[in-house]
Amino acid sequence: MRIVPISEANRVKMEHTAGPAHRRDFVGQPGILNTDPQAFLVERTYPNPVIHPHFHDVDQFQIFIGGDGRIGKTPVEAGTFQYSDAYTPYGPIVGNDDGVCFFTLRAIASGGHWPMPGNRDKMPGRAGRYLAGTFDLTTTLSEEGRMEREILLEEEDGLTVVGLKFGPNGTYPEKHGETGAAGGGYILVFSGSVKTQDTELVTKSLVQFDADEDIPAMSASDEGANVLLVTFARPSDRPGSNPELMRERDPYTFGERAK
C-alpha cells in the first residue's frame, strides 16, 4: 500500500507552447515502463487544452478534479470519472477556458501512448469498455460522525467506483464490504481531509492498494470529506487486464510518449 499526501507528490513542469502545464507524480512516473502501479495528476490550466484521441495497453481510470470540458462527447467537470479498458481508444480531452486537471490511475505502468487514428493495427482486437460517471460534489454531510456510501459503478468482474461522503469525524470501518480482492485500486480525497494509518490526507491526496490488501479504515476531520474509491477488475485473459502478464513486456520497448 502506498499512502501519498499531495505534499509528497513530485511536481514537474511540462513544456507546452499553449500555456502552463504541470504533472504531479504520486506513484511511478509516466514514460517509465516498469512493473509498479502508476498514478499522476495532469494540470493543464491554460485555456482550451486538447489531448488528442489515443489508447494505452493497460486499464486505467481518469478522474477530473478541476476545470471543465469534455472527453469525446462526454461533458466533464470536477467529480467526473472515466474508465477505459486496455487498448480502448478515447478522446479527445478538450478543456474550456480554465483548462482541466485530472488524475490518471493505473494498476501497472502503461507501455505507451498510441495516437488514433493510425494505430489500429496495435490493438489486439475490438475496443473494450469505456465508462463514465460523476461523483456529486455539490452536497456535503453536516451530521457529526456520519458516513454515506454510494456505488457509482459496479461491474461483474470487480470493477467499481464508490463515492464516500463523511460528515465531521465520520468514519469508514476497515471491514465495510470492499476489499482489494479484485484488481487493487485507489482512494482519492476530493475535499476535506481524512486520516488513515496515522497519515493525514488533505484534498488531492491519494492511497494506492494492491489486490491482496483490504481497503484501509478512514476517519474524517472536523470539516468532513468527500472521497472516491476505485477498484480495478479482477485479472482475466482480456488483453491488458492482468498485471502479472504485463510484467513480461520487453522493458526496452515503449510506445509513443504523450505530447
For the chain, the first-to-last Cα distance in angstroms comes to 30
Kindly state the greatest CA–CA separation across the chain. Answer: 55
Residue ranges of domains in the chain, CATH in brackets:
8-134 (2.60.120.10), 147-231 (2.60.120.10)
pLDDT at residue 39, rounded to an integer: 96
Global pTM?
A: 0.93
pLDDT at residue 65, rounded to an integer: 96
pLDDT at residue 174, rounded to an integer: 58
Phi, psi (degrees; rounded to nearest 5) at 36: -95, 160
Length of the chain: 259
pLDDT at residue 111, rounded to an integer: 87
pLDDT at residue 179, rounded to an integer: 56
How far is Cα 38 from Cα 60, in angstroms, rounded to an integer? 9
pLDDT at residue 56, rounded to an integer: 94
pLDDT at residue 37, rounded to an integer: 93
Beta bridge partners of 115: 54
Averaged over successive runs of 10 residues, the pLDDT of the chain (259 residues) comes to 95 81 90 84 93 94 96 94 96 95 95 90 93 92 92 94 95 66 88 94 96 89 95 93 83 63
